[in-house]
Amino acid sequence: MPLLWSGFPPYSSPKVSPTNPRILPYGTAAIAEAAALIRAGECVAVPTETVYGLAADATESRAVAGIYAAKGRPSFNPLIVHVPDLAAAERIALFDDRARDLATRFWPGPLTLVLPVRPDSGIAALVTAGLDTIAIRVPRHRAMQALLEASGKPLAAPSANASGSISPTRAEHVAKSLAGRIPLVIDDGATPAGVESTIVMGASILRPGPLSAEELGFEIAAPNGRITAPGQLDSHYAPSKPVHLDAAAAEAGEYLIGFGPVAGIETLSASGDLTEAAANLFDALHRADASDAPAIAIAPIPERGIGVAINDRLRRAAHR
Ligand code: TXA
Ligand code: MG
Protein backbone atom coordinates (compact mmCIF):
# COMPACT_ATOMS: atom_id res chain seq x y z
CA MET A 1 0.00 0.00 0.00
CA PRO A 2 1.55 3.34 -0.99
CA LEU A 3 2.16 6.12 1.48
CA LEU A 4 -0.27 8.94 0.76
CA TRP A 5 1.70 11.50 2.71
CA SER A 6 5.21 11.46 4.04
CA GLY A 7 6.00 10.44 7.57
CA PHE A 8 2.55 9.05 8.23
CA PRO A 9 1.48 5.46 7.86
CA PRO A 10 -1.59 4.63 5.80
CA TYR A 11 -4.63 3.18 7.46
CA SER A 12 -8.21 2.80 6.37
CA SER A 13 -10.04 6.10 6.35
CA PRO A 14 -12.28 8.09 4.04
CA LYS A 15 -12.27 7.54 0.29
CA VAL A 16 -9.62 10.09 -0.58
CA SER A 17 -6.75 10.37 -2.99
CA PRO A 18 -3.55 12.43 -2.92
CA THR A 19 -5.30 15.06 -5.08
CA ASN A 20 -8.01 15.56 -2.48
CA PRO A 21 -9.55 17.44 -0.85
CA ARG A 22 -11.82 19.13 -3.35
CA ILE A 23 -12.44 22.78 -2.56
CA LEU A 24 -15.95 24.06 -3.29
CA PRO A 25 -17.01 27.68 -2.83
CA TYR A 26 -19.70 28.22 -0.19
CA GLY A 27 -23.18 27.90 -1.68
CA THR A 28 -26.19 25.60 -1.96
CA ALA A 29 -24.35 22.91 -3.94
CA ALA A 30 -21.37 22.80 -1.59
CA ILE A 31 -23.56 22.57 1.51
CA ALA A 32 -25.71 19.79 -0.01
CA GLU A 33 -22.62 17.77 -0.89
CA ALA A 34 -21.08 18.35 2.52
CA ALA A 35 -24.27 17.32 4.31
CA ALA A 36 -24.44 14.09 2.28
CA LEU A 37 -20.82 13.30 3.27
CA ILE A 38 -21.62 14.01 6.94
CA ARG A 39 -24.64 11.68 6.81
CA ALA A 40 -22.38 9.01 5.23
CA GLY A 41 -20.10 9.23 8.28
CA GLU A 42 -17.25 11.21 6.68
CA CYS A 43 -15.51 14.43 7.80
CA VAL A 44 -15.79 17.73 5.96
CA ALA A 45 -13.82 20.93 6.52
CA VAL A 46 -16.00 24.00 7.01
CA PRO A 47 -15.22 27.54 8.14
CA THR A 48 -16.47 28.91 11.44
CA GLU A 49 -15.98 32.46 12.69
CA THR A 50 -12.85 31.25 14.53
CA VAL A 51 -10.94 28.73 12.42
CA TYR A 52 -11.84 26.13 9.82
CA GLY A 53 -13.21 23.09 11.60
CA LEU A 54 -13.08 19.43 10.60
CA ALA A 55 -16.68 18.40 11.16
CA ALA A 56 -18.25 14.97 11.62
CA ASP A 57 -21.51 13.59 13.04
CA ALA A 58 -21.04 13.80 16.83
CA THR A 59 -23.52 10.97 17.40
CA GLU A 60 -21.51 8.39 15.42
CA SER A 61 -18.33 7.15 17.09
CA ARG A 62 -16.92 5.86 13.82
CA ALA A 63 -17.37 9.24 12.15
CA VAL A 64 -15.67 10.92 15.12
CA ALA A 65 -12.81 8.41 14.97
CA GLY A 66 -12.36 9.55 11.37
CA ILE A 67 -11.55 13.07 12.63
CA TYR A 68 -8.70 11.74 14.76
CA ALA A 69 -7.47 9.57 11.90
CA ALA A 70 -7.48 12.48 9.43
CA LYS A 71 -5.69 14.83 11.84
CA GLY A 72 -3.21 12.16 12.94
CA ARG A 73 -3.99 13.47 16.41
CA PRO A 74 -1.77 11.79 19.00
CA SER A 75 -4.33 11.71 21.77
CA PHE A 76 -8.08 11.72 22.20
CA ASN A 77 -8.63 15.28 23.40
CA PRO A 78 -12.30 15.91 23.99
CA LEU A 79 -13.85 17.77 21.05
CA ILE A 80 -16.22 20.73 20.82
CA VAL A 81 -19.77 19.98 19.64
CA HIS A 82 -21.45 22.55 17.39
CA VAL A 83 -25.23 22.96 17.36
CA PRO A 84 -27.58 25.42 15.60
CA ASP A 85 -29.09 27.12 18.65
CA LEU A 86 -29.51 27.17 22.42
CA ALA A 87 -32.51 24.82 22.30
CA ALA A 88 -30.39 22.17 20.56
CA ALA A 89 -27.60 22.74 23.11
CA GLU A 90 -30.04 22.23 26.01
CA ARG A 91 -30.94 18.81 24.62
CA ILE A 92 -27.26 17.79 24.95
CA ALA A 93 -25.97 19.63 28.05
CA LEU A 94 -27.33 20.77 31.42
CA PHE A 95 -27.36 24.57 31.73
CA ASP A 96 -27.31 26.52 34.97
CA ASP A 97 -28.35 30.19 35.16
CA ARG A 98 -24.87 31.55 34.45
CA ALA A 99 -24.38 29.32 31.42
CA ARG A 100 -27.79 30.27 30.04
CA ASP A 101 -26.99 33.96 30.57
CA LEU A 102 -23.68 33.63 28.69
CA ALA A 103 -25.33 31.65 25.89
CA THR A 104 -28.09 34.23 25.54
CA ARG A 105 -25.59 37.06 25.32
CA PHE A 106 -22.87 35.52 23.14
CA TRP A 107 -24.46 32.82 20.95
CA PRO A 108 -24.18 32.55 18.08
CA GLY A 109 -20.50 33.39 18.50
CA PRO A 110 -17.02 32.26 19.48
CA LEU A 111 -17.88 31.04 22.98
CA THR A 112 -17.62 27.41 24.06
CA LEU A 113 -19.25 26.33 27.32
CA VAL A 114 -18.12 23.25 29.25
CA LEU A 115 -21.19 21.81 30.95
CA PRO A 116 -22.44 18.50 32.38
CA VAL A 117 -23.49 16.24 29.51
CA ARG A 118 -27.02 14.81 29.61
CA PRO A 119 -27.06 11.03 30.00
CA ASP A 120 -29.45 10.85 27.04
CA SER A 121 -27.48 13.29 24.85
CA GLY A 122 -26.86 10.74 22.11
CA ILE A 123 -23.30 12.08 21.73
CA ALA A 124 -20.61 9.46 21.06
CA ALA A 125 -18.34 8.80 24.08
CA LEU A 126 -15.31 9.44 21.87
CA VAL A 127 -16.38 13.13 21.60
CA THR A 128 -16.14 13.73 25.35
CA ALA A 129 -13.19 11.34 25.80
CA GLY A 130 -15.40 9.64 28.39
CA LEU A 131 -15.72 12.78 30.57
CA ASP A 132 -19.09 13.61 32.14
CA THR A 133 -18.85 17.15 30.79
CA ILE A 134 -19.12 18.38 27.22
CA ALA A 135 -17.78 21.43 25.38
CA ILE A 136 -20.53 22.94 23.24
CA ARG A 137 -21.05 26.04 21.13
CA VAL A 138 -23.38 27.72 18.65
CA PRO A 139 -21.26 29.11 15.81
CA ARG A 140 -22.16 32.31 14.00
CA HIS A 141 -20.57 31.59 10.59
CA ARG A 142 -23.07 31.09 7.75
CA ALA A 143 -21.27 28.04 6.35
CA MET A 144 -21.23 26.09 9.63
CA GLN A 145 -24.80 27.18 10.36
CA ALA A 146 -25.91 25.99 6.90
CA LEU A 147 -24.14 22.64 7.36
CA LEU A 148 -25.76 22.14 10.78
CA GLU A 149 -29.17 22.78 9.26
CA ALA A 150 -28.65 20.65 6.13
CA SER A 151 -27.13 17.67 7.96
CA GLY A 152 -29.52 17.80 10.91
CA LYS A 153 -26.70 16.52 13.15
CA PRO A 154 -24.70 17.97 16.03
CA LEU A 155 -21.20 18.33 14.61
CA ALA A 156 -17.96 17.60 16.45
CA ALA A 157 -15.24 19.81 15.01
CA PRO A 158 -11.66 20.49 16.07
CA SER A 159 -9.52 22.78 13.96
CA ALA A 160 -9.05 21.35 10.45
CA ASN A 161 -5.30 20.88 10.52
CA ALA A 162 -2.92 17.98 10.90
CA SER A 163 -1.99 17.46 14.52
CA GLY A 164 0.85 19.70 15.64
CA SER A 165 0.47 22.32 12.92
CA ILE A 166 -1.07 25.77 12.97
CA SER A 167 -4.83 26.22 12.92
CA PRO A 168 -6.29 26.97 9.47
CA THR A 169 -7.96 30.26 8.74
CA ARG A 170 -8.27 29.74 4.95
CA ALA A 171 -9.41 26.83 2.78
CA GLU A 172 -5.92 26.59 1.27
CA HIS A 173 -4.41 26.04 4.73
CA VAL A 174 -6.77 23.11 5.22
CA ALA A 175 -6.09 21.64 1.79
CA LYS A 176 -2.34 21.80 2.36
CA SER A 177 -2.40 20.42 5.88
CA LEU A 178 -4.88 17.60 5.23
CA ALA A 179 -3.99 16.76 1.60
CA GLY A 180 -5.11 13.25 0.78
CA ARG A 181 -6.91 12.79 4.07
CA ILE A 182 -10.37 14.38 3.66
CA PRO A 183 -12.81 14.57 0.74
CA LEU A 184 -14.04 18.20 0.83
CA VAL A 185 -13.33 21.73 2.04
CA ILE A 186 -16.04 24.39 1.87
CA ASP A 187 -14.28 27.65 0.99
CA ASP A 188 -15.85 30.83 2.35
CA GLY A 189 -12.72 32.91 2.55
CA ALA A 190 -10.68 33.77 5.59
CA THR A 191 -12.28 33.16 8.99
CA PRO A 192 -13.18 36.33 10.85
CA ALA A 193 -11.70 35.61 14.27
CA GLY A 194 -8.72 33.49 13.37
CA VAL A 195 -8.25 32.02 16.84
CA GLU A 196 -10.23 29.27 18.48
CA SER A 197 -13.24 30.05 20.62
CA THR A 198 -13.01 31.14 24.23
CA ILE A 199 -13.71 28.10 26.43
CA VAL A 200 -15.51 28.77 29.72
CA MET A 201 -16.31 26.41 32.57
CA GLY A 202 -18.21 27.91 35.50
CA ALA A 203 -16.55 31.31 36.01
CA SER A 204 -13.18 30.19 34.64
CA ILE A 205 -11.68 30.65 31.22
CA LEU A 206 -10.07 27.35 30.23
CA ARG A 207 -8.82 28.67 26.91
CA PRO A 208 -8.52 32.36 26.06
CA GLY A 209 -10.11 33.26 22.75
CA PRO A 210 -11.93 35.97 20.82
CA LEU A 211 -14.14 36.88 23.79
CA SER A 212 -12.18 38.39 26.67
CA ALA A 213 -12.91 38.11 30.38
CA GLU A 214 -14.01 41.75 30.31
CA GLU A 215 -16.49 41.12 27.51
CA LEU A 216 -17.81 38.06 29.30
CA GLY A 217 -18.34 40.21 32.38
CA PHE A 218 -16.23 38.06 34.65
CA GLU A 219 -14.66 39.57 37.74
CA ILE A 220 -11.54 37.49 37.28
CA ALA A 221 -8.83 38.48 34.83
CA ALA A 222 -8.06 36.13 31.97
CA PRO A 223 -5.93 33.33 33.39
CA ASN A 224 -2.26 34.15 33.25
CA GLY A 225 0.25 31.31 33.23
CA ARG A 226 -2.22 28.94 34.82
CA ILE A 227 -4.32 28.17 31.77
CA THR A 228 -5.77 24.71 31.62
CA ALA A 229 -4.11 24.16 28.28
CA PRO A 230 -6.25 22.43 25.68
CA GLY A 231 -5.28 18.81 25.45
CA GLN A 232 -3.45 18.92 28.77
CA LEU A 233 -6.43 17.88 30.84
CA ASP A 234 -5.70 15.24 33.48
CA SER A 235 -9.33 14.38 34.09
CA HIS A 236 -9.59 11.84 31.30
CA TYR A 237 -11.65 8.72 31.61
CA ALA A 238 -10.09 6.15 33.90
CA PRO A 239 -11.69 2.83 34.83
CA SER A 240 -12.26 2.07 38.51
CA LYS A 241 -10.29 -1.18 38.35
CA PRO A 242 -6.81 -2.31 37.29
CA VAL A 243 -6.09 -2.25 33.57
CA HIS A 244 -3.56 -4.75 32.20
CA LEU A 245 -2.11 -3.63 28.86
CA ASP A 246 -0.57 -5.73 26.06
CA ALA A 247 -2.44 -8.86 27.14
CA ALA A 248 -2.18 -11.84 24.78
CA ALA A 249 -4.80 -13.69 26.87
CA ALA A 250 -7.00 -13.05 29.90
CA GLU A 251 -5.69 -13.94 33.34
CA ALA A 252 -8.17 -15.33 35.89
CA GLY A 253 -11.24 -13.14 36.11
CA GLU A 254 -10.06 -10.43 33.72
CA TYR A 255 -12.45 -8.81 31.23
CA LEU A 256 -10.42 -9.14 28.02
CA ILE A 257 -10.86 -6.52 25.30
CA GLY A 258 -9.48 -8.01 22.11
CA PHE A 259 -7.97 -6.62 18.93
CA GLY A 260 -7.07 -8.39 15.68
CA PRO A 261 -5.92 -11.98 16.39
CA VAL A 262 -6.58 -11.65 20.14
CA ALA A 263 -10.30 -12.36 20.61
CA GLY A 264 -11.77 -11.02 23.86
CA ILE A 265 -15.13 -10.88 25.60
CA GLU A 266 -15.47 -8.10 23.09
CA THR A 267 -13.04 -7.14 20.37
CA LEU A 268 -12.23 -3.59 19.25
CA SER A 269 -11.69 -4.70 15.66
CA ALA A 270 -11.46 -8.36 14.66
CA SER A 271 -9.96 -7.34 11.31
CA GLY A 272 -7.29 -5.19 12.99
CA ASP A 273 -8.71 -1.90 11.67
CA LEU A 274 -7.38 0.85 13.96
CA THR A 275 -10.07 3.42 13.06
CA GLU A 276 -12.78 0.91 13.95
CA ALA A 277 -10.90 0.13 17.16
CA ALA A 278 -10.72 3.81 18.10
CA ALA A 279 -14.45 4.17 17.49
CA ASN A 280 -15.18 1.29 19.87
CA LEU A 281 -12.58 2.04 22.56
CA PHE A 282 -14.47 4.13 25.12
CA ASP A 283 -17.65 2.11 24.84
CA ALA A 284 -15.64 -1.09 25.42
CA LEU A 285 -13.88 0.39 28.47
CA HIS A 286 -17.20 1.51 29.94
CA ARG A 287 -18.70 -1.95 29.51
CA ALA A 288 -15.60 -3.59 30.98
CA ASP A 289 -15.73 -1.22 33.95
CA ALA A 290 -19.44 -1.96 34.51
CA SER A 291 -18.91 -5.73 34.36
CA ASP A 292 -18.42 -8.03 37.39
CA ALA A 293 -14.81 -8.72 36.41
CA PRO A 294 -12.26 -7.40 38.98
CA ALA A 295 -9.79 -6.32 36.31
CA ILE A 296 -9.57 -5.34 32.64
CA ALA A 297 -7.07 -6.72 30.13
CA ILE A 298 -6.48 -5.26 26.68
CA ALA A 299 -4.78 -6.83 23.69
CA PRO A 300 -1.72 -5.13 22.18
CA ILE A 301 -2.57 -2.28 19.83
CA PRO A 302 -0.05 -1.37 17.10
CA GLU A 303 1.71 1.95 17.76
CA ARG A 304 0.96 3.49 14.37
CA GLY A 305 -1.61 5.88 12.94
CA ILE A 306 -4.53 6.31 15.29
CA GLY A 307 -3.14 3.35 17.28
CA VAL A 308 -0.80 5.86 18.93
CA ALA A 309 -3.87 7.71 20.21
CA ILE A 310 -5.51 4.50 21.39
CA ASN A 311 -2.37 3.56 23.30
CA ASP A 312 -2.12 7.06 24.80
CA ARG A 313 -5.66 6.70 26.16
CA LEU A 314 -5.01 3.15 27.32
CA ARG A 315 -1.87 4.19 29.21
CA ARG A 316 -3.88 6.93 30.94
CA ALA A 317 -6.61 4.39 31.73
CA ALA A 318 -4.01 2.02 33.21
CA HIS A 319 -2.29 4.76 35.26
CA ARG A 320 -3.59 4.63 38.83
O1 TXA B 1 -13.01 27.77 17.68
C2 TXA B 1 -13.05 26.61 18.03
O3 TXA B 1 -13.39 26.29 19.17
C4 TXA B 1 -12.73 25.56 16.98
C5 TXA B 1 -13.77 25.68 15.87
C6 TXA B 1 -13.59 24.63 14.80
O7 TXA B 1 -15.06 25.59 16.44
N8 TXA B 1 -12.72 24.26 17.55
C9 TXA B 1 -11.72 23.85 18.40
O10 TXA B 1 -11.90 22.56 18.84
O11 TXA B 1 -10.77 24.51 18.74
P12 TXA B 1 -10.74 21.68 19.48
O13 TXA B 1 -11.31 20.28 19.49
O14 TXA B 1 -9.44 21.85 18.77
O15 TXA B 1 -10.55 22.20 20.93
C16 TXA B 1 -11.31 21.64 21.93
C17 TXA B 1 -10.67 21.88 23.24
C18 TXA B 1 -9.88 20.69 23.74
O19 TXA B 1 -8.54 20.78 23.42
C20 TXA B 1 -10.11 20.74 25.23
O21 TXA B 1 -9.08 21.43 25.88
C22 TXA B 1 -11.38 21.54 25.39
O23 TXA B 1 -11.75 22.02 24.16
N24 TXA B 1 -12.44 20.70 25.89
C25 TXA B 1 -13.31 19.93 25.18
N26 TXA B 1 -14.12 19.26 26.00
C27 TXA B 1 -13.79 19.64 27.25
C28 TXA B 1 -14.29 19.31 28.53
N29 TXA B 1 -15.29 18.43 28.69
N30 TXA B 1 -13.70 19.88 29.59
C31 TXA B 1 -12.69 20.77 29.44
N32 TXA B 1 -12.18 21.13 28.26
C33 TXA B 1 -12.71 20.57 27.17
MG1 MG C 1 -6.49 22.76 17.20
**Cα–Cα dist 34/98, whole Å:** 35
Q: What is the pLDDT of residue 238?
A: 67
**Cα–Cα dist 148/142, whole Å:** 10
Which numbered atom of ligand 1 lies nearest the CA of 156? 13
Task: Please tell me if the CB atom of residue 269 comes closer than 6 angstroms to any atom of ligand 1.
Answer: no
Which of 70, 11, 84, 76 is CA-nearest to residue 37? 70
**Cα–Cα dist 257/244, whole Å:** 10
84, pLDDT greater than 70: yes
Could you give the residue ranges of the DSSP H alpha helices within the chain?
28-39, 61-71, 86-90, 97-106, 125-128, 142-151, 171-177, 213-216, 274-290, 307-318
Q: How confident is the model at residue 219 (pLDDT cuts 50, 70, 90)?
A: low
107-125: pLDDT as tens digits: 999 999 999 999 999 999 9
82, pLDDT greater than 50: yes
Q: What is the pLDDT of residue 209?
A: 81
Q: How confident is the model at residue 254 (pLDDT cuts 50, 70, 90)?
A: very high
153-183: pLDDT as tens digits: 999 999 998 886 777 888 998 998 999 999 9
Neighbours of 214 (CB within 10 A): 9
Side-chain half-sphere CA neighbours of 115 within 13 A: 24
Tell me which ligand sits closest to the C-alpha of residue 51: 1
Nearest CA residue ID for atom 16, ligand 1: 79
What separation, in Å, do the N-terminal and C-terminal C-alpha atoms of the chain show? 39
Nearest CA residue ID for atom 19, ligand 1: 230
**Cα–Cα dist 193/230, whole Å:** 18
Q: Is 279 helix (H, G, I), strand (E, B) or coil?
A: helix
149, pLDDT greater than 90: yes
Neighbours of 26 (CB within 10 A): 20
Give me the phi and psi of 249, to 5 degrees please. -155, 160
CB 299 within 8 A of CB 260: yes
**Cα–Cα dist 58/187, whole Å:** 22
**Mean pLDDT of the 114-138 span:** 95
* Best of 137, 185, 199 for a ligand 1 pocket test (most atoms within 8 Å of beta carbon): 199
Task: Please tell me if the CB atom of residue 93 comes closer than 6 angstroms to any atom of ligand 1.
Answer: no
Q: What is the pLDDT of residue 320?
A: 64
Helix (H) or strand (E) holding 266: strand 266-267
255, pLDDT greater than 50: yes
Which of 301, 291, 303 is CA-nearest to residue 255? 291
